[in-house]
Amino acid sequence: MKAILPLLMLCVATATQAGIVFTPHVSEYGILPPGIYAEYTLIGTEIEAIYDRNGDKVQLGRPFVPAGDSTDAVLFLYKALWIGNLFRDSNIPILKNHSQFCRAIGSVSYQQNTGAIANRVRLFNQRPGSNGLGDLFGLCGIYSSELRAGPVKANGLLATTVKFPIGRYDQRAALNTGTNYWSVIPQLAFHSELFGRVYIDGTVAYQLNGDNDKPSFGGLTPTRIADVYNGEINFAWKFSEHWFADVGFSYRKSVGSNGYDKVTVNFEDQPLSPQSACDNTNNGITRTGNMLGVALGPVVSQQLCDNPGSDQFYLNPRAGPYEDNGVQGTLLTTGISYVYRASTVVQARVAKPIGGRGSQIDVVFDVCTREDCGPGNATSQVTSTLFGVQEAAAVSASPFFELRLVHLFWAP
């Protein structure tokens, strides 16, 4: 039985959620004409691979789920932007001579684990998907003066974003549209143009995250979320009066580790027998480079599965605390844009992960012969390496696609 248990617990599904925070765009930080802008962004992704804590790309759900299943997500963002100067007629230094801006960002999304991945999530009494209202982001900031030197035109901006955790959140869900914690993100950015043809935009931002006292998916979302620093740069070429092509680079990395203090993930149906071990571990795969990082054959012999006898046991996880090694993600983006005057922008782009590191923790499980399983009556302990989930912990290794429309509705 001791040989069965460590591998039995490694079958927990690797549910994830794409963390889409900073992605560069053409003239994202340039000074726009005063007015009220509306922006609509549609993002779609089919996540078939994620990064483990060693930076290796692993197939979602492997080796216990056949290739072809995925986590599918569609996200719709609505952004309202105001640009103007509330202090133009005042005597307040700096503010009276520089435009300000405020933006609100709301979202709705649909996310679902497909096929065998969804079935594995249900083994642990968890919901495989979610849809509904996401968190609300609000930000305000100020533009610098515009610098002109020969063929160069440039400006900077300073802003702060606050994330309000109002999105739909379900502690039993493997995926959530809400995060259940606050974030504050100060940001410094710049925009420059050369000969009116080459556009460069860049930013650095530091994301301060609060705690999540109600983790989802059996405690595999962090309770202590690490802060994150973000950076991006985007290069665009204006190759005709209205058309732009661009390429960008985005990087994010957590500051230290995520903490997990309330791990409860476990099989719903207990006690477990050797037959359960066969059903949940043997899938005929023999290969290396999988999510476990080892060669796999049949984990439990069929002879043992056919003769379970009375050998049954209960499992119960130790709640924590646990810490991961932090997360990191690197994106390469490319897109094409059509700009009509300064009032309308239509953009299509693709983002391709080119490196990353996701969250994994080594969880201790007590093994017991009685139902009230815990440290006091455990016959032994086993350790299982489990993936963290959602945007603070999981790092997608699959591309996503974006369609964006920006329109100036009104200008003075």
H or E element, residue 37: strand 35-47
Phi and psi based region of residue 343 (left: phi greater than 0; alpha: psi -120 to 50; beta: remaining): alpha
Of 252 and 305, more confident: 252
pLDDT tens digits, one per residue of 97-108: 889 999 999 999
Provide the pLDDT confidence category of residue 411 given band limits of 50, 70 and 90: low
Rounded distance between C-alpha atoms, residue 115 and residue 312, angstroms: 29
**Under 8 Å between Cβ of 196 and 244:** no
pLDDT the model gives residue 286: 34
Rounded distance between C-alpha atoms, residue 172 and residue 183, angstroms: 23
pLDDT the model gives residue 342: 66
- Minimal CA–CA distance to 107: which of 80, 128, 141? 80
Question: Would you call 9 helix, strand, or coil by DSSP?
Answer: helix
pLDDT the model gives residue 410: 64
- Minimal CA–CA distance to 204: which of 184, 228, 187, 183? 187
Of 279 and 132, more confident: 132
Of 140 and 294, more confident: 140
pLDDT tens digits, one per residue of 218-264: 999 999 999 999 999 999 999 888 899 999 999 999 999 999 999 99
Over residues 316-324, mean pLDDT:
91
Over residues 290-296, mean pLDDT:
31
Fold of domain 5-410: Porin (2.40.160)
pLDDT the model gives residue 274: 60
Provide the pLDDT confidence category of residue 309 given band limits of 50, 70 and 90: very low
Question: Would you call 120 helix, strand, or coil by DSSP?
Answer: helix
Rounded distance between C-alpha atoms, residue 141 and residue 91, angstroms: 19
Q: Is the pLDDT of residue 294 over 70?
A: no
H or E element, residue 276: helix 274-281
pLDDT the model gives residue 121: 84
Write down the residue that tokens 């032994």 correspond to.
Answer: 380
Q: Is the pLDDT of residue 16 over 80?
A: no
pLDDT tens digits, one per residue of 264-285: 988 888 777 666 545 554 444 3
Buried b (16+ CB within 10 A) or exposed e, 88-126: eeeeeeeeeebbbbebebbbbbbbbbbebbbebbebbeb
Of 197 and 24, more confident: 197
The sheet with strand 360-368 has its strands ordered as 314-317, 360-368, 380-387
Domain boundaries, the chain: 5-410
H or E element, residue 274: helix 274-281
Rounded distance between C-alpha atoms, residue 396 and residue 190, angstroms: 28
- Minimal CA–CA distance to 300: which of 271, 272, 334, 333? 272
Rounded distance between C-alpha atoms, residue 338 and residue 244, angstroms: 6
Over residues 13-20, mean pLDDT:
37
pLDDT tens digits, one per residue of 52-94: 999 999 887 666 666 777 888 999 999 999 999 888 888 888 8
